[in-house]
Amino acid sequence: MGVEGGMKCVKFLVFFFNFIFWLCGIALIILGVYVQIELSKTLVTTSTASASGAPIVILAVGIIVFFISFFGCCGALKENYCMVTTFAVFLTLIFLLEIAAAIAGYVFKDKVEAVLNREIKEEMRVYGNDTEVTQILDNLQHKYNCCGAFNFSDWFEVPGFKPHSVPESCCNHGMNCTSNPTPENVHNTGCVEKMELWMKKHIIIVAAVALGIALFELLGIIFACCLMKAIRSGYEVM
């Protein structure tokens, strides 16, 4: 009876952790969609993979976690060895992928500035000629109170743009700076720096959430393995 009671506890813990995974999957899906929408509002990327990669990965992991939790819940309730095993294997794979993604994120974190610089300067080159890019870049400079890639003087180097001038979206509130930009009347911080700060802030949030999920996953794997062993051994956990 002691083993039976212990396995009942493990069974319901597996179900509980799967409910948590299900909620985490929904949260990751929402987060992935939000980041993708936010990026599409600020950058028209010349390299889609470089900017869309992160939100797509988050969205994909969210969908996978959402469906894997189904196997765990059903397997635990029905004491189905195959479903519990499927859940444990896929959860282990996700756990390993998260570790690999964390390592890759740390290795490539210094490339974020280069990617943002390239994308923003590409947009600046077609400013005024492409309506969509013009609106998005203006919204970016308004929203983050920034101007140019690294500072407002970047606009002076844009081919075809009016010499020694900046877009109206670079001006401080209520000031006219388009034809006479100075550090006093324009947003004096580049958009690369502002976007980096925004991304780092959200990356910390994502990292904290991912760490919490990883701990739950590790516990889920352990409990799933215990339940698999009990089912295979023929214990009656009901």
Model pLDDT, residue 50? 47
Give the chain's radius of gyration (CA, Å). 25
Q: Is 153 found in the same domain as 222? A: no
Integer Cα distance of 17 and 200 in angstroms: 29
Q: What is the pLDDT of residue 236?
A: 46
- Assess if residue 11 is contained within a domain: yes
CATH of the domain at 141: 1.10.1450.10
Position 83 in a domain:
yes
User: What pTM, to 2 d.p., does this model score?
Assistant: 0.58
Contact status, residue 186 vs residue 53, Cβ threshold 8 Å:
no
Distances (CA, A) of 103 to 12, 54, 92: 33, 14, 17
- What pLDDT, on the 0 to 100 scale, is given for residue 170? 92
121, 95: one domain:
no
205 assigned to some structural domain: no
Considering the domain boundaries, does residue 25 fall inside one? yes
Residues 17, 59, single domain; the answer is: yes
According to the model, what pLDDT value does residue 237 have?
44
| 174 located within any domain | yes
Q: What is the pLDDT along the chain (238 residues), one digit of tens a residue?
A: 334 556 677 777 777 877 777 787 787 778 777 766 766 665 554 444 444 555 666 677 778 877 887 777 777 777 777 888 888 888 888 888 777 766 766 666 667 777 788 888 888 988 988 888 888 899 889 888 999 999 999 999 888 788 888 999 999 887 888 888 888 899 989 998 888 887 777 666 666 767 777 777 788 788 888 878 877 776 544 4
**The two structure tokens encoding residue 217:** 């996953």
Does 136 lie in the same domain as 218? no
Do 141 and 226 belong to one domain?
no
Distance CA 157, CA 159 (A): 6
Please give the tally of structural domains in the chain.
2
137 and 80 in a single domain? The answer is no
Pairwise CA distance, residues 40 & 42, whole Å: 6
Q: Are residues 177 and 217 in the same domain?
A: no
User: Does residue 89 sit in the same domain as residue 119?
Assistant: no
Contacts 24+ apart (CB under 8 A), 28-36: 28/58, 28/59, 28/61, 28/62, 28/65, 29/59, 29/62, 29/63, 29/66, 30/62, 31/58, 31/62, 31/206, 31/209, 32/56, 32/57, 32/58, 32/59, 32/60, 32/62, 33/59, 35/202
- Residue 95 near residue 128, CB atoms below 8 Å: no
Is residue 208, in this structure, part of any structural domain at all?
no
The predicted pLDDT at position 104 comes to: 66
For residues 145 and 187, is the Cβ–Cβ distance under 8 A?
A: yes
Q: Are residues 88 and 8 in the same domain?
A: yes
Q: What pLDDT does 222 receive?
A: 84
Nearest to 213 by CA among 87, 85, 99, 70: 99
Helix (H) or strand (E) holding 83: helix 81-108
Let me know whether 122 and 99 are in one domain: no
Q: Is 36 inside any structural domain?
A: yes
Contacts of 90 (CB under 8 A, 6+ apart): 64, 68, 71
Domain assignment present for 207: no
Q: Let me know whether 71 and 90 are in one domain.
A: yes
Structural domain including 143 reads 113-192
Paired residues of 186 in beta bridges: 171
Residues 79, 11: Cα–Cα separation, whole Å: 8
